[in-house]
Amino acid sequence: MRRYVLVSYDVSDPKRWRRVYKVMRGYGQHVQYSVFLCQLTDTEEARLRETLYDLIHKETDQVLFARLGSVESDALDRNLTVIGREYDHLDLKKLIF
């Protein structure tokens, strides 16, 4: 099953922040400064975790993974809403390698 996962990161060091950002660009859509919306299988999520775990400082940095539900459902419409600037809800399947 492929899920919507909102990934939000707090990385204080600019170099590390950039490295995390570059990795995230290959996994999903950049919706806020340090937030990406992804569509991930369990395997892809596990691989992303591992990659980010090796990049971040374990005590000071933090990456949150918020699972929002299956991409085959209306989970995104139900569970992710926005006020202010819209995010263009791309069909992310094209981004998945």
User: What residues form the annotated binding site?
Assistant: 10
Residue set of the binding site for Mg(2+): 10
Region of 3-11, 21-29, 89-97 interacting with a second copy (CB under 8 A): 3-11
Sign of the CA dihedral 69, 41, 6, 67? positive
Q: Which residue has the tokens 């005590």?
A: 59
Contact map string, positions 9 to 38, toward a second copy, x by CB under 8 A: xx--------------------xxxxx---
Region of 21-29, 49-57, 88-96 interacting with a second copy (CB under 8 A): 49-57
What's the Cα-to-Cα distance from 37 to each of 29, 46, 60, 68, rounded to whole Å?
5, 16, 23, 10
The CA distance from 80 to 97, in Å, is 24
Query: Residues in the site for a second copy, rule: CB under 8 A?
Result: 6, 8-10, 31-35, 49, 52-53, 56-68, 78-87
